[in-house]
Amino acid sequence: MLKTTAKFYSEIRVRYQETDKMGVAYHGNYLTWFEFARVDMLDQLGIPYIKMEEQGFMLPVIEANARYLLPCYFDDRLKIETMIKKEPRVKIQVNYNIYRADEKVCQGHTVHAFIDQNRKICKPPEQFSDALKNLFKDN
Amino acid sequence: MLKTTAKFYSEIRVRYQETDKMGVAYHGNYLTWFEFARVDMLDQLGIPYIKMEEQGFMLPVIEANARYLLPCYFDDRLKIETMIKKEPRVKIQVNYNIYRADEKVCQGHTVHAFIDQNRKICKPPEQFSDALKNLFKDN
Amino acid sequence: MLKTTAKFYSEIRVRYQETDKMGVAYHGNYLTWFEFARVDMLDQLGIPYIKMEEQGFMLPVIEANARYLLPCYFDDRLKIETMIKKEPRVKIQVNYNIYRADEKVCQGHTVHAFIDQNRKICKPPEQFSDALKNLFKDN
Amino acid sequence: MLKTTAKFYSEIRVRYQETDKMGVAYHGNYLTWFEFARVDMLDQLGIPYIKMEEQGFMLPVIEANARYLLPCYFDDRLKIETMIKKEPRVKIQVNYNIYRADEKVCQGHTVHAFIDQNRKICKPPEQFSDALKNLFKDN
């Protein structure tokens, strides 16, 4: 199976709404940040997620995983590193590392399936496969 | 214009996720609680919102207003009082009071329009109008 | 290591706010539902989470995992089954299954550490350990 | 009462998590966007909110209001215009307009009180008053 070390970067800033009474960012919000970074990665790959949905494809999350290494706080500027390490077939796995300056604060991954307008599992749209082929060829 | 004093009641419990670093429930969540109570009121009126959407009608919020009288805390049990004070025509206004035991902690209202499958403003579905007619007749 | 098959049950109803444009409940919200069920389980065990925080203990999430088996929809009534399968030492793992009627729609787990007022990892408060001892003795 | 026409601008991008099954951004999220823009405005005024909280002051929302003029969609880039029109005394009102390109999609305001570490209403911290004095002097 082809592998790549290509990495993509996105930035977010922790909102007050995202904190909880423990004084830290609520753990569930990291999945929203993963989503934000995933969408941003697809933009950078030239296959915006919004275009895929317009063409009738959706990429629902079928598995999500996060390990919280250090707490994050209101107003923290975080950098999210996003990777697709293995060439996807039916499922696609996206990996994430979240950094605050040099500290890694969280790592995780999500697994996705492609579904079509009838909500049936399908192959990725050609444009998506082509963009990823380039990604894996480059490495 | 017909008026009614009919009141409906719903209960929620403040989730940890709903708190913020101030140690209180984040103000934006009250709009979600209003929504929860509004859906529950429509159930009690015999016109479940989910059925209306299945029939192609939607009831988007076009105005929202909240006055926060006292802070709410994690695990608080809150009672939401919901009212439609005036018979709706094109727009429908829903009023809310939130109580913790005998204390009123918030009051607010939302204004809604009915839209159809083409996202055009429309008259309320007949079933909805009929249920409300009964409400205003009773009073 | 002691094991138990004790199970706890909680119920939630999917809010409109919890859905996304795919027409289903957004995957990140399941972590909030896990939290709701976890808090409810601790109530049922006689060790309310709010009391633990009042005594200076907190139980942050250090790992979260969810597998989404079937989509959930607005207004779905879901039953969450919550279990602590293994007697906790420093870390405590909580497992969850979410059901809609007879269908399992999601399974997951969270891992937690106890921390004290100085945000240092600590042993569980005595009251917590005692309640769990009973749980594991019963089985 | 002194008035100013000073305006501040912030940008956000609608997240998938922020949409609902109507296919649009859920109305409650606009309050989170207001918060994001308010925090950003205070940065631009040289009085970061996080610094104020570190000094023991908090600025809870005591009233929130939004009028939704046009729906917003996933991935929309929105510009939020933020203003403090009147010199605050005990309460401070912040006004917002949200734009997508040239269209105004939402307008609203929030009202805040300053509270101190004992959660008592207090005068704004000096640094805050000074920054605002400059703002109102300039106009």
Tens digits of residue pLDDT in B52-106: 999 999 999 999 999 999 999 999 999 999 999 888 888 999 999 999 999 999 9
Tokens encoding A63: 């598995």
The more confidently predicted of residues C1 and A124 is A124
Residue B45, domain member (yes or no): yes
Of the partner residues A15, A39, A75, the one whose CB lies closest to the CB of residue D16: A39
Chain C hits for A21, Cβ within 8 Å? 53
B45–chain C nearest CA distance, Å = 16
In chain A, the number of structural domains is: 1
CATH number at residue B82: 3.10.129.10
Annotated active-site residue in C20, C75, C76, C138: C20
The more confidently predicted of residues A58 and A2 is A58
pLDDT for residue C134 is more than 90 = no
Q: Tell me, what's the pLDDT at D1? A: 58
Of the partner residues A16, A35, A39, the one whose CB lies closest to the CB of residue D35: A16
Of the partner residues C29, C62, C66, the one whose CB lies closest to the CB of residue A68: C62
Annotated active-site residue in A20, A40, A75, A76: A20
Q: What is the mean pLDDT of chain C?
A: 94
B139–chain D nearest CA distance, Å = 30
For chain A, the residues whose C-beta falls within 8 A of a C-beta of chain B are 16-17, 19-21, 23-24, 26, 28, 74
Which of D13, D14, D16, D26 to probe by mutation at the A interface, max A CB count within 10 Å?
A: D16
Summarised one tens digit per residue, pLDDT across range C31-51 is: 999 999 999 999 999 999 999
Residue D1, domain member (yes or no): no
Cα A114 to Cα B95: distance, rounded to the nearest angstrom: 42
Confidence of residue B115 (pLDDT cuts 50, 70, 90): very high
| B21-to-B4, B16, B18, D92 alpha-carbon distances in Å | 40, 11, 10, 21
Cα C130 to Cα D2: distance, rounded to the nearest angstrom: 63
Contact A130, A114 (CB under 8 A): no
Confidence of residue B4 (pLDDT cuts 50, 70, 90): confident
Q: Is residue A40 annotated as a catalytic residue, yes or no? A: no
Residue A3, domain member (yes or no): no
Chain B hits for A17, Cβ within 8 Å? 20, 26, 28
Q: Which residues of chain D have pLDDT under 50?
A: none
For chain C, the residues whose C-beta falls within 8 A of a C-beta of chain D are 16-17, 19-21, 23-24, 26, 28, 74
Confidence of residue A83 (pLDDT cuts 50, 70, 90): very high
For residue A10, how far is the Cα from the chain centroid? 10
Which range marks the domain in which residue A120 is found? 8-137
State mean pLDDT over A43-65. 96
Residue B138, domain member (yes or no): no
pLDDT for residue B38 is more than 90 = yes
* Beta strand spans in B16-138 (E): 61-68, 77-83, 91-100, 103-113
Dihedral (C-alpha) D128, D131, D134, D138: value to the nearest 10 degrees?
-110
Cα B14 to Cα B37: distance, rounded to the nearest angstrom: 14
- The pTM of the full predicted model, rounded to 2 decimals, is 0.96
Buried b (16+ CB within 10 A) or exposed e, A47-76: bebebbbeeebbbbbbbbbbbbeebbebbb
Residue C3, domain member (yes or no): no
Of the partner residues B15, B32, B36, the one whose CB lies closest to the CB of residue C36: B15
Chain C hits for D76, Cβ within 8 Å? none
Of C31, C1, C3, residue with least CA distance to C12: C31
3-state SS string over D41-108? HHHHCCCCHHHHHHCCCECCEEEEEEEECCCCCCCCEEEEEEECCECCCCEEEEEEEEEECCEEEEEE
Tokens encoding B72: 């709410």
Q: Which letter does DSSP use for residue C27 in this model?
A: T
The more confidently predicted of residues C89 and A20 is A20
Tokens encoding D10: 């912030």
Q: Tell me, what's the pLDDT at B138? A: 59
Summarised one tens digit per residue, pLDDT across range D66-105 is: 999 999 999 999 999 999 988 888 899 999 999 999 999 9
Catalytic residues of D: 20
pLDDT for residue B139 is more than 60 = no
The more confidently predicted of residues B3 and C100 is C100
Per 3-state DSSP, chain B is made up of helix, strand and coil in percentages (nearest 5) of 25, 35, 40
State mean pLDDT over B7-28. 98
Q: What is the mean pLDDT of chain B?
A: 94
Residue C128, domain member (yes or no): yes
Q: Is residue B129 exposed (0-12), middle (13-18) or buried (19+ Cβ within 10 Å)? A: middle
For the sheet with B8-13, list strands across it.
Answer: B8-13, B77-83, B91-100, B103-113, B61-68, D61-68, D103-113, D91-100, D77-83, D8-13
Residue A2, domain member (yes or no): no
The complex's ipTM works out to: 0.94
Residue D13, domain member (yes or no): yes
